[in-house]
Amino acid sequence: MAGARALSLVISLALLPGASPAVVSAEDERSPGACGTVVGVPTPPDGAQIVAPGSDLSARTRTSPAGTTFWLSPGTHTLASDQFGQVIPKDGNVYLGAPGAVLDGQGINRAAFTQQAADVVIRGLTIRRFVPSVDQGVVNHDSAPRWVIEENVIEDNDGAAMMAGNGQQVRGNCLRNNGQYGINAYRPGGLSDLVIEDNEIVGNNTDDWEVQIPGCGCTGGVKFWAVNGADVRGNWVHHNHGAGIWADTNNNDFIIEENLIEDNEAEGVFYELSYNLILSGNSFRRNNLVKGRWRAERGDNFPVAAVYISESGGEPRLPARTDMIDIRGNMFSDNWSGVTLWENADRFCNSPANTSGLSCTPFVPLVSNCADPGITSAPLYGDCRWKTQRVHVRENTFEFDSETQGCRSLCGRMAVLSNYGTFPTWSPYKAWTVSDAITFQQQNRWYDNRYYGPWTFVAHNTSRGLSVDQWLAAPYNQDVCSTFGDSTGC
């Protein structure tokens, strides 16, 4: 099995110290990750146009018919020496790189492959030193459909290594040390049917955008926005300066499985304002240590965790391969806490606390519909909220050694909670309404897990810390048939 599925038993990397961007050099590569292999197509296929360094790939593309295959021979290839130097493919074009073929943006060109051609293939190239603006990407800059991007090295660029379009397949790439994202899966109006498989996604967000734009939510090894259907499988996601995998706002129908997710400075997986997820068979190691320590040292007792489910849940009304968030069969080792389920009482459609202010849930056509008096009764009372509901955490192993991680407090927790609702004045979700719902009424359950180490629990609100016995007992009744240390469970 390729990628992380072959690595999960043998790779062990140390967390980079401090909160500085995680830049991984060639000397730091660990075979057999995608960044430790030589990429390239050794010989040109029959009928391919051979492009030597110094040739004008942009012009060759313009003057060739759709469906042409180009083979870039070894050496450094460049585009026009201005910011708009770019390749504009035609439908079905194929771009292959020989071993040693580099497409270099010279620190000048904004993007490498752009515009709206469908069914483009890019394979075997090293693509580096392009300078797109924030939130933009180097490859598939305009999110065209059904591109296949495989076995490339895309590194040391500003912005994102790539954008995503409908039906895009991203396989076996090294996406390393890019300024913002490895992948920015965003397209106006949303997109669907992504496959992200067997890639190594490492050291991204070198420009530290969360510091440049506080609270922007604009970083991650991979970031998804309004994606309907994604398979994220067999990847090695590590040492990113921020979250490893982050799905933000009206994503649905995700399968995240058999990935090795480790040493990311923030969450390993962050699923926010989204729906219907299977998170299974992954290995989470040493995630969130930088962010967790930073918050704890400042006296912040919020239970940040390796897997953070924020205003997200199972929703049977949306077609998907599951109607819940199913977190099952994963291995968690020495992360800063395990799984946190959170729902902000003040964050809903048309609330000033909603940082995704232009968005609403899929069930309300206009943000402005969520207002007094309609929001006080069904269906808007329920449909104006993104709910953390129908989340099952089961059959996982959670192990934590507080001494190994230098933990002083707040670092080995599991949590389900909300805050005290306060605003706006017309909110129907004030006081402990949402805390009661997420804790007792929305079918959020832990069961059949195995725990090793000094785990504690948080329920209802940040001030309500629980021991194992309290977590197991009424009124919470969590972790039925789970085992703690040498206990036998059911």
DSSP code per residue over 352-415 = TT-SSTT---TT-S-GGGS-TTGGGSTTHHHHTS----SEEEES-EEE--TTTTT--SS-SEEE
Check if the beta carbon of residue 173 is closer than 8 Å to that of residue 34: yes
Distance CA 180, CA 205 (A): 4
Residue burial 445-471, b: 16+ Cβ < 10 Å; e: rest: bbbbbbbebebbbbbbeeeebbebebb
- Greatest C-alpha distance within the chain: 73
72 found inside a domain: no
300 found inside a domain: yes
Check if the beta carbon of residue 141 is closer than 8 Å to that of residue 121: no
Strand pairing report for 269-272 and 148-150 = unpaired
Number of domains observed in the structure of the chain: 1
* pLDDT, position 356: 76
Strand pairing report for 275-280 and 325-328 = parallel
Say how many CA atoms lie within 13 Å of 354 toward its Cβ: 22
Smallest CA-to-CA distance from 110 within 57, 151, 157 is with 157
For residue 421, the enclosing domain spans 266-347+386-490
**CA terminus-to-terminus distance, the chain:** 34
**Residue percentage of the chain with pLDDT more than 70:** 93
CA 131 to the chain's CA centroid: 22
Check if the beta carbon of residue 59 is closer than 8 Å to that of residue 171: no
* pLDDT, position 10: 33
- 4 membership: H or E segment, kind and range: helix 4-7
Which residues does 321 contact at the CB level (< 8 Å), separation at least 6?
253, 255, 276, 278
Distance CA 53, CA 40 (A): 15
Distance CA 453, CA 445 (A): 21
Distance CA 457, CA 358 (A): 35
371 found inside a domain: no
Compute and round to an integer the Cα radius of gyration of the chain.
23
Check if the beta carbon of residue 201 is closer than 8 Å to that of residue 175: yes
Smallest CA-to-CA distance from 462 within 313, 342, 292 is with 342
* pLDDT, position 489: 77
Distance CA 21, CA 486 (A): 40
Distance CA 268, CA 286 (A): 9
Task: Look up residue 2 and give its two tokens.
Answer: 């390729």
**DSSP classification of residue 47:** T
145 found inside a domain: no
472 found inside a domain: yes
Distance CA 151, CA 34 (A): 8
What's phi and psi for 291, nearest 5 deg?
Answer: -65, -45
218 found inside a domain: no
CA 368 to the chain's CA centroid: 30
* pLDDT, position 402: 80
**Helix (H/G/I), strand (E/B), else coil: 306:** coil
Q: Which segments in the chain show pLDDT lower than 70?
A: 1-32, 404-406
- 150 membership: H or E segment, kind and range: strand 148-150
406 found inside a domain: yes
Q: Is the dihedral of CA 476, 478, 481, 483 positive or negative?
A: negative
319 found inside a domain: yes
